[in-house]
A and B are shown apart, each in its own frame.
Chain A
């Protein structure tokens, strides 16, 4: 799972929905193109949503993976035919690019609920429409939408039972005893259920992979069983309050004391950064990350100044912000006279443009090499930087030969 995606808690439902729709095509891609990795990953992405407590992270990962899957699927667009899992019928798949776009649009809709008891009915119908190209898929989602509670975010068990019955009604011959709670009275709409017996059922069950490690391939034979488990799982998933913006869909799960959860959240992140940043030889480097949660301070030295400063890479979390922060810190020390503004290139590396002496922003990375700032994406930079250095342009000739450059300046 990408750690990046973990850092950005997307709304779990939309992500899941997204990955679900993607995996509809992607699992087919598995069969057709033999691109098993992508397919599994996507399926895992879909399945990962049902990793309840990890929905925020997992779904994010799932979505990102599903993105890559759908890209690959777009290459073999015209030949994809979806089958339900008994292979009896096929669903034609329309333009995968649309799906990508549509699904991407859906990602932003935080209130979409897939009958997961997540709260109010979906805000916009078009969100639903984006999701399923096929009419059958669409009607599945619409049916599910019918069962959503009209008020309040809590759903009692009876409502989930209704939904389970709904699905059961759809695929009753396929999933006979998998829904343990559907024995009692179902107040659902069997008429709509009847119209979509096999195909939507197939579409959904085929793609709802169980929760498993994407690197383990042994789970495939049990897909059928586990699709039902994940189905019933997701219908009972959200018995607690739902706050789509929170990191997980379930209140109080996993059962870790809130004191412990709150205490561990920030330090875990910063220690991870510290671990990435530096080997434990220099206590200070680790310290600068671990000292205060959510801030990554690195030292900044300017040539000619004996005293350094520290700048926070967490609050100045882009190159533009960083260079303006450094300008604020060091502009008083720039030697030479201001010249005309024409020379300013807006380049993050050349600070203090327009002054007589050119300065270049460099950094020392975790390997000890002196590197020019601005080459790599910000995240990679923040993960590898150890300290910053503002060098005079004249000394920066031959950047890329780190140790010698340091020696000469």
Chain B
């Protein structure tokens, strides 16, 4: 959506540029004989309404004129791999950006498979941003290392900066956040999700100036330190447009009450610590305050939840659209009582402490459920849910399109049932916590179950498999999953044929991440036709050899093939124990981690010594 002030800004600068451009284009028109007969300004005005990256990308490849027009016109860019382009390329292509979204490390970095300091540093982008996009308004970063210096620069040098959204980022401290809060005059969004922050205290909140009243989103749930509650309360009361507020564990229920009284307009609330109320009369007040938030649709938080406080949200429950209890170990009984009251729920994230009984209630009540995620409480594999829970939800919720489910063991029949009940699945991630676990009733491999998923769910775009899988499962995937874009494989497959099936059969594949599976060089090299249309390929603990990687790198110059070794004896300096950066690895030795991604920017210069780009 384009806000009014954006349009104004756009028009002014646009008018000047348009003059120059018209002359350019006229010359070109004679040369090229364009198809379009209307001038560019019309085209650009039309293209303004095309939003969404994919649509924009499609528009830009129609013809050169459209390419240019769209490039001038684009305001929000999405870069799925920060190393795929360089900042210079970006500025040339899109001279007028207001919002940037960057993703850094490969997804398996979430599971500690990428050693720290691998890369994805945001700081190199800052000078370019300051120079070319001084009017930048929004920055959304995921899995990147952001330094305090970058945050200082943003706060000082980007006067129009409005939204900072960091997901799974690290490398910064609360000092950097303090700089943002104190200097960004128009800050509307400060959203830190699951970041690893060097927490030096809660003063960053106190730096919000008295004049700041523009906040729409404030999410500091990942910060540990307590903030000054009086400052928070005042901030909340003067930001009348605050819609999303996610508190951290330091905020108690009594404090939550005081905040809710000031901000009944909230649509998204993340509670603080959801336990311990000293004064029981406030229980009733809190319940009233919660029910006064008529627009509240999304709930999360619930740190340290105590069951007795769950009924506080009963009055809200009937309108809830999303509920995130994934940090709350709620038992089945209390959960069932809560969920029974949420018929409109569309997104549900829970822990497996709710057991199959709880999921049964979900299936019975939440007919509109679109997304379900069930996380394991005990990462040792003693799950409390079984496949019956997933089947129960699938039976009750035919609109289910996104599933992430952790269970200890599963059966093919259960997965087949889910596939039959929910043909609209687009994202299906089933993690059978025990690696290489077979169907525990029939003893077969899990091939048929996942086969059923890809057969029945025609729109499947994301799949994560687990359990004991032979090549047959991958044959199914290659044959049926024509819209598959992301595939995550762990401890699966028998031979290279499996990976070859996938690479040859899934034309839309964009992200392929594999760990601990027996795929070797011939599988790797079977995807040469595919890798440039993919964002990345990750293979760790497979049978790919250095020679194979080298071959791949040689065959595809626009692919960065990174071999990530163990940091091991990490004095890691230039001279190192390996001597001046030479590879003292046997070419036939299997590579520990391989990360290959397409890029326009060539080899990256910030790779540590234990990352070798071939």
B306 and A255 contact, CB distance less than 8 A = no
B437 and A264 contact, CB distance less than 8 A = no
B176 at the interface (CB under 8 A from A): no
B277 and A264 contact, CB distance less than 8 A = no
B196 and A54 contact, CB distance less than 8 A = no
B377 and A259 contact, CB distance less than 8 A = no
Cα of A158 to Cα of B495 in the assembled complex, Å: 14
B306 and A53 contact, CB distance less than 8 A = no
Stretch at the interface among A196-204, A220-228, A331-339, A356-364: A220-228
What is the distance, in angstroms, from B196's C-beta to the closest C-beta of chain A?
Answer: 7
Mask, A259-297, CB within 8 Å of B = 1, is: 111011001101110110000110110110011000000
Cα of A272 to Cα of B329 in the assembled complex, Å: 8
B199 at the interface (CB under 8 A from A): no
Chain A residues with CB below 8 A from B238, complex form: none
Chain A residues with CB below 8 A from B307, complex form: 280, 286
Chain A residues with CB below 8 A from B495, complex form: 180-181, 183
Chain A residues with CB below 8 A from B124, complex form: none
A257 at the interface (CB under 8 A from B): yes
**Given A241-B566, A272-B329, A287-B306: A213 in contact with B440 (beta carbons within 8 A):** yes
**Given A52-B434, A256-B375, A258-B111: A290 in contact with B304 (beta carbons within 8 A):** yes
B517 nearest CB neighbor, chain A only:
A236
Mask, B241-274, CB within 8 Å of A = 1, is: 0000000000000000000000000000000000
A254 interface neighbour in B108, B326, B329, B381, Cβ under 8 Å: B381
B610 at the interface (CB under 8 A from A): no
**Given A158-B589, A229-B438, A236-B518: A54 in contact with B541 (beta carbons within 8 A):** no
A268 and B378 contact, CB distance less than 8 A = yes
B275 interface neighbour in A233, A254, A268, A291, Cβ under 8 Å: A291
A6 and B443 contact, CB distance less than 8 A = no
Q: How many residue pairs bridge A and B at CB < 8 Å?
A: 200
B592 interface neighbour in A156, A233, A270, Cβ under 8 Å: A156
Chain B interface residue count, CB cutoff 8 Å, equals 70
- Chain B residues 480 to 499 lying within 8 A of chain A, measured CB to CB, are 488, 490-491, 493-495
B443 and A222 contact, CB distance less than 8 A = yes
What is the distance, in angstroms, from B10's C-beta to the closest C-beta of chain A?
Answer: 38
Chain B residues with CB below 8 A from A175, complex form: none
A253 interface neighbour in B111, B222, B518, Cβ under 8 Å: B111
Chain B residues with CB below 8 A from A183, complex form: 495
Mask, A141-183, CB within 8 Å of B = 1, is: 0000000000010101110010000000000000000001101
A260 and B194 contact, CB distance less than 8 A = yes
B568 nearest CB neighbor, chain A only:
A152
- Chain B residues 512 to 528 lying within 8 A of chain A, measured CB to CB, are 515-516, 518, 520
Cα of A281 to Cα of B331 in the assembled complex, Å: 15
A264 and B382 contact, CB distance less than 8 A = no
B435 and A253 contact, CB distance less than 8 A = yes
**Given A181-B518, A252-B112: A54 in contact with B275 (beta carbons within 8 A):** no
A254 and B308 contact, CB distance less than 8 A = no
Chain B residues with CB below 8 A from A51, complex form: 381, 408, 433-434
B194 and A259 contact, CB distance less than 8 A = yes
Cα of A207 to Cα of B196 in the assembled complex, Å: 44
Stretch at the interface among A243-251, A367-375, A401-409: A243-251
A322 at the interface (CB under 8 A from B): no
Q: Beyond the given A152-B568, A251-B113, A270-B304, could you list 14 further A-B residue pairs with CB under 8 A, ordered by the A residue number?
A: A157-B518, A158-B589, A180-B495, A211-B437, A212-B409, A252-B515, A258-B110, A258-B112, A259-B194, A264-B327, A267-B304, A271-B304, A271-B329, A283-B306
The list of the 6 closest CB pairs from A to B, nearest first, reads A54-B381, A252-B111, A239-B541, A180-B494, A222-B443, A57-B380
Interface residues of A (CB under 8 A from B): 1, 6, 50-58, 152, 154, 156-158, 161, 180-181, 183-184, 210-213, 216, 218-219, 221-222, 225-226, 229-230, 232-233, 236-237, 239-241, 247-248, 250-261, 263-264, 267-268, 270-272, 274-275, 280-281, 283-284, 286-287, 290-291
Interface residues of B (CB under 8 A from A): 108, 110-113, 168, 194, 196, 222, 275-277, 280, 303-309, 326-327, 329, 331, 334, 351, 375-382, 406, 408-409, 431, 433-438, 440-441, 443, 464, 468, 470, 488, 490-491, 493-495, 515-516, 518, 520, 540-543, 566, 568, 588-590, 592
